[in-house]
Amino acid sequence: PYACRLRLRALVAAPPEQVEPLFRYVLDQVALAPVAPERLMVPTGASGDEAGPVREDFLAAAQPLLAAADWDGLRRTVAALRELTGAHLLIASALRWLDLVLAAPAPSPGWVAALIETIATGAAVAPAEAGPAGPLPPLARAMIEAQRFALGLPGAEMLPGRIAAIGRGVGAILRALGHDATAWRTAATAAAEGGDPTPMLAALDRLLAADGAAPAVPAAAAPPPVEGAASGGGGEGRAAPRVLKVDQAKVDTLMTLIGELVVSKNSLPFLARRAETVHGSREMGREIKDLYAVIDRLAQEMQAAIMAVRMLPVSEVFERFPRLVRDVARKLGKQVELVIEGEETAADKNIVETLGDPLLHILRNALDHGIEPPDDRAAAGKPPTARLLVRAGQESDQVVIEVVDDGRGIDPARIRAAAVAKGVIPPERAARLSDQEAVNLVFLPGFSTAGTISDLSGRGVGMDVVATTLEKAGGTVSLASTPGQGTTVRLSLPLSMAVTRVMMVEAGGGRLFGIPMDHIAETVRIPRAAIRRIKQAEAFVLREAIVPLLRLDSLLGTAAATGADETAEAEAEAAVLVVRLGGALTGLVVDHFREGMDIILKPFDGILAGIPGYAGTALLGDGRVLLVLNLKELL
């Protein structure tokens, strides 16, 4: 009821803005679509050949006229055949359409060729669509120009074979470009039959003069879309990729749910251990462990799939840099060429958003401090235009961004002098610093080598913001520089911040702590007799390298349970967790090693947010809370 069962179609010459107001109350029931003029050019009528031999004379004259684009001569030929053809025939209808096409100021060669073919075959041939003009690709234009040159070479005895070869070659080029080759085939046929390359030369001149404005693919090869027709299907066609737009909050909810699943999954090993120790059922414990392996695999696959949805290319950040570099370089009077590589590298959306501010500070520092003015570069034997490279890539489970410039580099002596002048470090400590340690002073808060304060530098904020932001995101930043040659800043961030892999250890008399796997180099057990005391510190030798040794319970200030110290001292070996921070190894003495697991890290908030040495908490499978350590602050 109340539903129209009819489908009405109307053809209107008015523009859409004049048609839409007429259907303003039923716009949801009306579909407006543009109709190309060639779609309406459909010769109709009865088949027959009353013109007889006159039609053959028309075709013999029409094809050379089309090849030469002699529209006046073609009009006269059409008018002569129309007088000898019955008005009810298909040929007469094609002639009338041809007369209308030739009346245009610039007739379409594709339409004319299709109508002449209709007259020749006696069957309706869909005319070519008039596609928008576009330039020929450079390679295609060069090939056509070479064919044009070859066609004009002398040598009458070789002309027939040359005409045939060039006709096939240019036709293949036009088909590969998706252009209509009907007019070219007509010209090639006329040239071959007459033994004269003039029609082909004229067709090539028109093609090159129009700079590739060839007719598009014939309409018969690309039928108009049909309402309700399904895309894809059989044949050689391939369905277009389907894109589903999803709100970011929904993806974040999925990430939260997979985090809860990880926590629930971690409870199964505790349940298996309880089945063995409390209930004495080893078979039940084994079955729970087998089930845990299956759920663990599925959870990891789900986590990877959701992470893939959250991945964004770093081009989301890189696309703002060309304008930034251009504006800052113009303001500073410097010539800079920005080169971006690896912009398709993908990372978690939170990581990509984190990269914005650090890269902004690094680029501005490179433009202001690193790259010299053109005159200085020329005096140093460098090209006036500096090269600034921003390169992204993936290494293992890290996304790495490098910013490389070929500027003046960083002078360690100048950094030491600036640090002492600003009171960042005392002179005696500055004298003991190595060149690399002096270069790393640029990451200290408040440090700057600029003589004057501007909107680009001199305020002491920049590289310290880079280091702080990267550390909060679980990443690292390193700087390498060669005076007079350039500087490289390397940022390394985890691909994802959603799930953290930690190793649990016992310290302070059975208390559990989590240590991020990113910092763990290895776990060893060393004889207690191998621990040496150097002044007030302990150390041990690991593969001919001296590793300083610290006790985790002392660092955390946790008092061991009664009798725990005596039990630990009675053991012949010490459990040492070797961690790597800033390229240096440090050993942490713990009570026992426990298993590793994936956790959802929850940072401290409220009054606990300022506690140093802790990255946050995680919920274990048995309901206990695991404290996750921040080794960079702790050590």
| Whole-number pLDDT of residue 488 | 92
**What residues are paired with 503 via a beta bridge?**
515, 596
| Cβ-based neighbours of 18, under 8 Å, separated by 6 or more | none
d(CA 158, CA 145): 20
Mean per-residue pLDDT, 516-532: 88
Q: How many whole angstroms separate alpha carbon 404 and alpha carbon 365?
A: 12
pLDDT at 36 over 70: yes
Position 42 pLDDT exceeds 70:
yes
Partners of 625 in beta bridges = 619
Mean pLDDT of 120-138: 59
Segment among 35-49, 139-153, 559-573 with least mean pLDDT: 559-573
* pLDDT value of residue 404: 92
Paired tokens of 312: 């964004």
Nearest in space to 586 (alpha carbons), one of 538, 625, 628, 627: 538
Is residue 63 over pLDDT 70? Answer: yes
The DSSP string of 459-526 is: SS-SHHHHHHHHHHTT-EEEEEEETTTEEEEEEEEES-SSSEEEEEEEETTTEEEEEEGGGEEEEEEE
The single-letter code of the amino acid at 541 is V
Question: Is residue 287 predicted with pLDDT exceeding 80?
Answer: yes
Max mean pLDDT range (65-69, 448-452, 532-536): 532-536
Among 80-94, 226-240, 322-336, which range has the highest average pLDDT? Answer: 322-336
Note the pLDDT tens digit of each residue in 135-185: 677 777 778 888 888 777 776 656 777 888 888 888 778 766 767 677 787
278: confidence class by pLDDT, cuts 50, 70, 90: confident
Structure tokens at 552: 């985790």
Tokens of 612: 């140093």
Q: What contacts 483, CB < 8 A, 6 or more positions away?
A: 408, 409, 410, 411, 412
- pLDDT higher at 351 or 240: 351
Q: Inform me whether the pLDDT recorded for 545 exceeds 50.
A: yes
Whether residue 459 is predicted with pLDDT greater than 60 in this model: the reply is: no
- Environment class of residue 451 by beta-carbon count within 10 Å: exposed (0-12), middle (13-18) or buried (19+)? exposed
Confidence of residue 389 (pLDDT cuts 50, 70, 90): very high
- CA distances from residue 520 to 240, 247, 262, 308 in whole angstroms, order as listed: 46, 37, 22, 27
In whole angstroms, what separates CA 57 from the centre of its chain?
61
67: pLDDT strictly greater than 60:
yes
Instruction: Dig out the tokens for 467 from the structure.
Output: 């280091």
CA atoms within 13 A on the CB side of 621: 19
3-class DSSP state for residue 403? strand
Mean pLDDT for 381-401 is 87
What are the Cα distances from residue 226, in Å, to 229, 405, 554?
6, 56, 77
Backbone angles phi, psi at 521, to 5 degrees: -90, -45
The tens digit of pLDDT for each residue in 76-90 reads: 888 888 777 777 777
Please enumerate in sequence order all residues whose Cβ is within 8 A of that of 11, keeping only pairs 6 or more positions apart, or say none. 35, 40
Q: What is the DSSP string of 617-629?
A: EEE-TTSPEEEEE
Residue 587: predicted pLDDT: 92
Write down the pLDDT at residue 294.
87
Buried b vs exposed e over 125-154: b needs ≥16 C-beta within 10 Å? bbbbbbbeeeebeeebbebbeebbeebeee
Report residue 457's pLDDT band, with 50, 70 and 90 as the boundaries. Answer: low
Confidence band (pLDDT; 50, 70, 90) for 237? very low
Q: Per-residue pLDDT averaged across 376-383, rounded?
A: 89
For the residues 412-431, what does the mean pLDDT come to?
84
pLDDT over 80 (residue 57): no
Beta strands across the sheet bearing 537-542: 520-527, 573-581, 584-590, 545-551, 537-542, 532-534
Q: In terms of pLDDT, which residue wins out, 125 or 96? A: 96
Q: What was the pLDDT predicted at 578?
A: 92
Q: Are 264 and 623 in contact (CB under 8 A)?
A: no
The Cα 94–Cα 116 span in angstroms is 8
Helix (H, G, I), strand (E, B) or coil at 258: helix
- Cβ(46)–Cβ(88) below 8 Å: yes
Q: How far is residue 188's CA from residue 66's CA, in Å, rounded to a whole number?
A: 11
Kind and range of the H or E run holding 392 = strand 386-395
Res. 118: pLDDT tops 80: no
Distance CA 391, CA 351 (A): 16
The DSSP-derived string for 190-242 is HHHHHT--HHHHHHHHHHHHTTS----SBGGGSPPP-TTPPSS-STT--PPPP
Spatial separation of the C-alpha atoms in residues 416 and 426, rounded to whole Å: 10
Q: At what angle do helices 109-121 and 53-67 cross, to 10 degrees?
A: 160
Average pLDDT score over residue span 304-317: 83
Specify the range with the lowest mean pLDDT, choosing from 303-317, 397-411, 455-469: 455-469
User: Which tens digit of pLDDT belongs to each residue from 201-230?
Assistant: 888 887 777 654 333 333 333 333 333 333
Question: Which pLDDT belongs to residue 52?
Answer: 62
443 pLDDT above the threshold of 60: yes
The pLDDT of 621-626, averaged and rounded, is 78
**Which pLDDT does position 238 carry in this prediction?**
47
Angle at alpha carbon of residue 161, lines to 160 and 166, rounded to 5°: 105
**288-298 mean pLDDT:** 86
